[in-house]
Chains A and B, each alone.
Chain A
Amino acid sequence: MSRPYRPPSVDVDALLDDPATKVVVCCGSGGVGKTTTAAALAVRAAERGRRTVVLTIDPARRLAQSLGLRELGNQPKPVRVAGFTPKGELSAMMLDMRRTFDDMVVNTAGPGRADQILANPFYRTISTSFSGTQEYMAMEKLGQLAATGEWDLIVVDTPPSRSALDFLDAPQRLSTVLDGRVIRMLSAPARASGLGIRKLVGAGFGLFTKAVSTIIGGQLLQDASAFVQAFDSMFGGFRERATATYRLLRSPGTAFLVVATPEPDALREASYFVERLAAEQMPLAGLVVNRTHPVLADLPAGRALATADELDRAGTAPLASAVLRVHADRVTVATREKRLLARFTKAHPSVAVVGVPALPADVHDLGGLREIAMRLAGV
């Protein structure tokens, strides 16, 4: 029998212990357990002696509680939980997207102009419901945390987007909106010089503008225009910050952990992300596969089922039979999971992988996070 190819494994402890590791980013598609992974890594890093902060984006309530976070606080708070006395330190925070944006505007624009921007209805839309804002603000907050120099290690969770790639793409999208060229064009097409657009599309453009303003509301367009004018002067600074954070993500002190579950969709997203990180020359530490179901008992499924059938015929030991069938089910699940993972590994043979066996119940305290962390570290 040929031995199946085994990918290298992720040495989580070595990664967390390495003083050169400054930032760990957990990314992946929605519902794969990114936030839990980030929290567990942070707990472990702190217990192993590093001054650690974990930036969570949208944690489930019980997970937040397990870190002692009761409400959205936009600044890191030390985690104080009975029985938790790490060698290092652990602080945790939840991202408050709106407040991060407000702070950034105030810091960049100065008080007078900032008030004008903060009061603009279009700004309120952008800062709360624009689809890329959460990603952008997560990056901004990461930049801020890194700039304080207070932490040895920052562990970052990423927003629960449909696609893992949104984390890298969204800031660019928001930046395009704020750049304001198109808004200017829509609000004053006659003055859009240089591009010859008006000449190109002729009267249709006026119609389009009219149509768009009918649909999204003329008022919104005016607000957008006013916002862009007010924002114009600070846009340079805005973009500079984003560029700096982007540079931080590409630096050798950063490690990306792509998180997935052994499901086709999640692994496909993980594949896209791995390819993208390579293209962007961003440092990938490996793939975390959450909620795996490895087989524990060394017993072939066929043998188990044959014996279960025999027991059922005799009808004397229903429990023993059930135990065997539970095992056979588990073998089936594990086989499928291995097959899916093998597909990923075949496409990305050099990516290190760590499987995290599923806990039978949800994590809702620090003990649960510690248990996950041990599984991550393979101990």
Chain B
Amino acid sequence: MTATGWTDQLARARLHVVTGKGGTGKTTAAAALAVALATRRPGHRVLLVEIEGRQGIAQLFDTAPLPYAEQRIAAAPGGGEVYALAVDAEAALLEYLAMFYNLGFAGHALRRMGAVEFATTLAPGLRDVLFTGKLKETVGRTDANGRHRYDAVVLDAPPTGRIVKFLDVTRAMVDLAKVGPIRGQSEGVAKLLHSGDTAVHLVTLLEEMPVRETLDAVAELDAADLRPGAVLVNRIRPARLPADAVAVAATGGLDQAEIGADLKQAGLALAEDTLGDLVTETVEHATRVRAELRARGHLADADLPSLDLPELTDGVDVAGLYELAEAMTEQGVR
């Protein structure tokens, strides 16, 4: 399987949920996707949302910690703007309650007492209800002319292990609250998350465990009638060896003497030790490339569109984000 790009269906989605195993670069991929979706689209607004209080977005964009307010965080190449929002569970709860009750002064006092944190900690799904509710609000919000405030919303979501529980939490709420405004609200959220407006993208590396988790998550999403979007294959490293040399090298079949002679011919005479070390490095590289090819083969089972994201040699910084966003638009993200 090679990168197969972005489909029309994905181009129509308005809520992009980005999940992945821990350590695969989920936050980075989500941020790059937000920039890519705004690229070369003057007047476009994309909102990037994080929910677990780690301020990963602020660190990526090298800005001060985000408050619980939407603020412009970056301009995409060729017009388009990226906004960011760090949802705070406590503030979201008070906001949520205010939709149904007039709490007045009590809200503030309860917050100070820690009762709000307590309530959100007590019911494991409550935080998720609040987060998904807030997401729906940002996706659905319109201005006076009926135009959507945001053309797309990108969520740095919980990891693959928790993603279905997270997205499906409102279904449980629908069962819990039999009638009333909360039921109505929950139904609305569930409808959005299960519709074609939402795509759940999976970030992975070409390694065994992340690929397995990705495939498991795809099956779980399918079973829950949620829509897997694209697989974002992160940290792709350049393949240096000629394809036919990979298997030979990985199984220790490199001819050190021949390589040494070729290098000497080119004016690079190396000590036998150094030459041996070079060969060892190449064997390790080949072993990894083989494992990556196997991982690609397994990923193909998911039968989803996929994007390749190159490894950033200098590490992730703002320039690197734009580089990843560029790679995404080149592969059809729009």
Residues of chain B lying within 8 A (CB to CB) of residue A307: 263, 266-268
Chain B 209-244 near chain A by CB (<8 Å), digits 1 or 0? 100000000000000000000000000011011100
- In the complex, how many residues of chain A place their beta carbon closer than 8 angstroms to a beta carbon of chain B? 72
Given contacts A217-B176, A264-B316, A360-B288, contact A299 B278 (CB under 8 A): yes
Residues of chain B lying within 8 A (CB to CB) of residue A314: 266
CB-contacts of A91-140 with B (<8 A): 125, 129-131
**B-contacting 9-mer, from A64-72, A146-154, A326-334:** A326-334
Contact of A208 among B106, B129, B240, B254 (CB under 8 A): B106
A252 and B227 alpha carbons, distance in the complex (Å): 52
Among residues of A, the one whose C-beta sits closest to the C-beta of B161 is: A160
Q: Is B143 an interface residue (CB 8 A)?
A: no
Contact of A216 with B177 in the complex, beta carbons under 8 Å: no
**B-contacting 9-mer, from A48-56, A194-202, A229-237, A345-353:** A194-202
Among residues of A, the one whose C-beta sits closest to the C-beta of B285 is: A326
Dominant secondary structure of chain A at its interface with chain B: helix
Dominant secondary structure of chain B at its interface with chain A: helix
Among residues of A, the one whose C-beta sits closest to the C-beta of B288 is: A360
Contact of B241 with A215 in the complex, beta carbons under 8 Å: no
Among residues of B, the one whose C-beta sits closest to the C-beta of A297 is: B277
Contact of B101 among A183, A211, A311 (CB under 8 A): A211
Q: How far is the CB of A222 from chain B (nearest CB, A)?
A: 13
Q: Is B300 an interface residue (CB 8 A)?
A: no
Given contacts A220-B123, A264-B315, A307-B266, contact A205 B240 (CB under 8 A): no
Q: Is B247 an interface residue (CB 8 A)?
A: no
A360 and B270 alpha carbons, distance in the complex (Å): 25
Q: Is A323 an interface residue (CB 8 A)?
A: yes
Interface size class of chain B, counting residues whose CB lies under 8 Å from the partner chain: 35 or more
Q: Is A322 an interface residue (CB 8 A)?
A: yes
Among residues of B, the one whose C-beta sits closest to the C-beta of A309 is: B266
Q: Is A340 an interface residue (CB 8 A)?
A: yes
Contact of A322 with B280 in the complex, beta carbons under 8 Å: no
Given contacts A30-B22, A186-B115, A336-B314, contact A205 B121 (CB under 8 A): no
Residues of chain B lying within 8 A (CB to CB) of residue A215: 96-97, 119, 123, 126, 129, 177, 182
Residues of chain A lying within 8 A (CB to CB) of residue B241: 319, 322, 326
A160 and B23 alpha carbons, distance in the complex (Å): 11
Contact of A163 among B23, B54, B262, B281 (CB under 8 A): B54
Known A-B contacts: A130-B124, A261-B23. Give 20 more (CB < 8 A). A30-B159, A125-B123, A197-B109, A204-B107, A207-B106, A214-B180, A215-B96, A264-B315, A266-B23, A296-B277, A296-B281, A297-B274, A297-B280, A298-B273, A317-B263, A320-B263, A325-B240, A360-B287, A360-B291, A362-B208
